[in-house]
Amino acid sequence: MMLTIPTETARQSDISPQRVAAKGRLSVSRLNGKTRLSRLYQEGAAKVRMPFTQGDHLEAILINTAGGLTGGDRIAWEVDVGADASCVVATQASEKVYRALTGKAELSAKIAVAAGGRIAWLPQETILFDRSAFSRRLDIDLAEGAEALVVEATVFGRLAMGERVMQGEFRDRWRIVCEGSLVHAEDFAIGPQVEATLQRGAAGNGAAAFATVLLVSPGAANKLEAVRGLVGEKGGASAWTVGKSGKLLARLYDQDSYLLRKRLMPLVELLNGRAGLPKTWSL
């Protein structure tokens, strides 16, 4: 009888790398004049914590205990905001998307807001590393009189660390529905030659940090001039009437995340009203 001893290469190929498959679901409702937690579900690396707040809103902090994402990882968040309730959702830290050997990392957020409710979706920056592959999807369904503030910032490498994203893949998809009608849709895609694309004048003009800020609210247009003052020359803002509500959209860019955040923080504070900045946001 012949005994076959597997080679090191063979042994490694038989081992499937561990992947993140995480889900977090959060439901809030208004009770006795204050927004309170009504349901919470956590699975895998997805965790949710709720610090004490002074106002009548609830603040939820999303945590990925895996410490980042890479090819094959999947994390999904769901948030349901009840009638007249108000919820601010942020992340504990910036989400990091590392080099992918195979597959892509996926992050999805599905949000529903009942009549008169308000959601502030305010995750910190997503930092993409060289040769990462990442797909992000955001779906928000707003009922009559509901409002939404959405901020997503993306950083292609950390300038202070000497990092550059030469190659990679990034896809970002937003769909915002208000009273059954689509009020905002966008699809962004870049790759595989990320650095070359960002250097183009019509794309990033050398910038490495970008943010999109969307406010869906009846009074959104009233904040347009103040928003334009904070955005400055590196970006722009516009406002529209959409059905019975309004929409304000701002885009910002800068050389790195620090310079971007210096303008993004007062902008979020302005648009988030009395709820202000999430506790985890800091320079």
H-helix or E-strand spanning residue 147: strand 147-156
Q: Which two tokens stand for residue 35?
A: 């927004």
129 DSSP assignment: P
- What does DSSP say about strands 169-178 and 133-142: parallel, antiparallel, or unpaired? parallel
> What's the pLDDT score for residue 17?
67
Q: Which two tokens stand for residue 95?
A: 């989400």
Amino acid at the residue 165: V
Whether 171 contacts 157, CB under 8 Å: no
Evaluate if pTM is beyond 0.85.
yes
Whether 152 contacts 128, CB under 8 Å: no
Q: Which two tokens stand for residue 155?
A: 């950083």
pLDDT tens-place values along the chain, 283 residues long: 444 444 554 444 455 667 889 999 999 999 998 999 999 999 999 999 999 888 889 999 999 999 999 999 999 999 999 999 999 999 999 999 999 998 999 999 999 999 999 999 999 999 999 999 999 999 999 999 999 999 999 999 887 777 889 999 999 999 999 999 999 999 999 989 999 999 988 888 889 999 999 999 999 999 999 999 999 999 999 999 988 899 999 999 999 999 999 999 999 999 999 888 998 987 5
> What's the pLDDT score for residue 180?
93
Secondary structure class of 182 (helix, strand, coil): strand
